[in-house]
């Protein structure tokens, strides 16, 4: 139980801290672009209704202003904790030691898997952009993240035979050979907003992953200095 | 400066099992959280997490 408690302490602290910073940064950069894009999206919907199309009822949604901001803050905080649990869960499962430098490398690796690789086929986009069916995109997104992680494990993982390492190229490029689901419909948002949105989204998630890895590495060292067997992983090498 | 050789862990096989099961529990928790904030198809959850999904590249409408 102690192992689990120590792991969760590290995950909750690093994930909540990095998640809150991500929320603050995105609130000032990405979210204003979502609001700008929604002006075009609403105008597009009104034009559709005016020309005889039917109105889509989307059900309950948080009211604009503090309510919507609070839900976004909570969701981003949880995203931080969820990604921290996945990233450090893998590190703990492998039994590998962490420190600030290793943490940064793990964060960079996660950024490549979770953000860079899916962006090739499905870049982050604001509302009002033509998309393919949601379920197909979710399957491709998850498949690409997992395949890229397997590729990196084959390339750099411990205990992989030398001759097997080049096989990592297969999961690395397979999702992109299959291709992401193709969008149908029309963009109602200006290209400039779409491009700025994609760039800012990737920049902010990159910052998040590096910060998360760094914080996790620092916490790991602090906790292990108190109790060398906190996580049951290999001891961090002395520096 | 010491050599950066990782010493074998002093723990027992039971200790390693505790680590593995704890790590699996942490991973399952992470998957559940990311499913709710990034992939839920429940309309209210989707709308509550809408901006976060767009901002972090999760597939959204």
pLDDT in the model for residue A58 = 74
| B6 pLDDT above the threshold of 70 | no
- Report mean pLDDT in 10-residue bins for chain A, 239 residues: 92 98 98 96 87 74 94 98 98 94 98 98 95 96 98 94 96 98 92 97 98 98 90 69
Nearest partner of A121 among A176, A170, A201, A178, judged by Cα? A176
pLDDT in the model for residue B9 = 47
Domain with A111, as residue range(s), is 1-43+67-128+190-239
Report how far residue A150's alpha carbon sits from residue B48's, in angstroms, rounded to the nearest whole number.
32
Q: Provide, as residue numbers in chain B, all residues whose Cβ is less than 8 Å from the Cβ of A196.
A: none
pLDDT in the model for residue B53 = 97
Per-residue b or e along A197-228, where b marks 16 or more CB atoms closer than 10 Å to that residue's CB: bbebbbebbbbbbbbbbbbbbbbbbebbeeee
Q: Are residues A79 and A18 in the same domain?
A: yes
Q: Are residues A100 and A145 in the same domain?
A: no
Q: What is the DSSP letter of A219?
A: H
Number of Cβ pairs < 8 A linking chain A and chain B: 167
Asked, for residue A53, whether it belongs to a domain, the answer is no
pLDDT in the model for residue A234 = 75
Residue A220: both structure tokens together: 């790991």
Are B47 and A61 within 8 A, CB to CB? yes
pLDDT in the model for residue A80 = 98
ipTM here: 0.93
Q: What angle do CA B47, A213, A96 make, to 5 degrees?
A: 120
What predicted TM-score, i.e. pTM, was given to this entire model? 0.92
Q: Are residues A163 and A208 in the same domain?
A: no
Q: How many CB atoms lie within 10 A of CB A55?
A: 9
Q: Provide, as residue numbers in chain B, all residues whose Cβ is less than 8 Å from the Cβ of A31.
A: 51, 55
pLDDT in the model for residue A165 = 97
Mean pLDDT over each residue of chain B, to the nearest integer: 85
Residue with the larger pLDDT of the pair B17 and A31: A31
Q: Are residues A197 and A82 in the same domain?
A: yes
Q: Are residues A121 and A153 in the same domain?
A: no
| B31 pLDDT above the threshold of 70 | yes
Are A237 and B18 within 8 A, CB to CB? no
């Amino acid at each position: 139980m102690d192992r689990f408690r120590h792991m969760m302490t590290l995950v909750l602290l690093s994930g909540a801290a990095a998640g809150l910073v991500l929320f603050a940064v995105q609130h000032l950069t990405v979210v204003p672009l979502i609001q700008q894009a929604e002006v075009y999206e609403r105008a597009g919907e009104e034009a559709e209704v005016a020309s005889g199309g039917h109105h889509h009822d989307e059900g309950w949604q948080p009211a604009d202003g503090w309510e919507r901001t609070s839900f976004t803050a909570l969701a981003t905080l949880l995203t931080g904790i969820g990604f921290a649990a996945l990233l450090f869960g893998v590190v703990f499962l492998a039994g590998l030691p962490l420190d600030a430098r290793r943490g940064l490398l793990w964060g960079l690796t996660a950024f490549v898997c979770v953000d860079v690789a899916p962006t090739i086929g499905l870049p982050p986009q604001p509302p009002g952009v033509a998309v393919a069916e949601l379920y197909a995109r979710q399957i491709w997104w998850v498949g690409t993240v997992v395949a890229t992680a397997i590729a990196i494990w084959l390339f750099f993982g411990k205990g992989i035979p030398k001759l097997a390492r080049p096989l990592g190229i297969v999961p690395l490029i397979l999702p992109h050979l299959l291709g992401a689901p193709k969008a149908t419909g029309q963009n109602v948002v200006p290209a400039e907003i779409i491009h700025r949105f994609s760039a800012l989204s990737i920049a902010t998630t990159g910052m998040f992953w590096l910060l998360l890895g760094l914080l996790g590495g620092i916490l790991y060292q602090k906790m292990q200095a108190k109790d060398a067997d906190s996580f049951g992983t290999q001891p961090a090498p002395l520096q | 400066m010491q050599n950066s050789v990782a010493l074998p862990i002093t723990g027992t096989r039971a200790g390693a099992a505790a680590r593995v099961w704890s790590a699996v529990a942490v991973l399952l928790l992470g998957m559940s959280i990311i499913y709710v904030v990034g992939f839920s198809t429940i309309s209210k959850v989707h709308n509550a997490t809408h901006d976060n999904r767009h901002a972090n590249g999760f597939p959204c409408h």
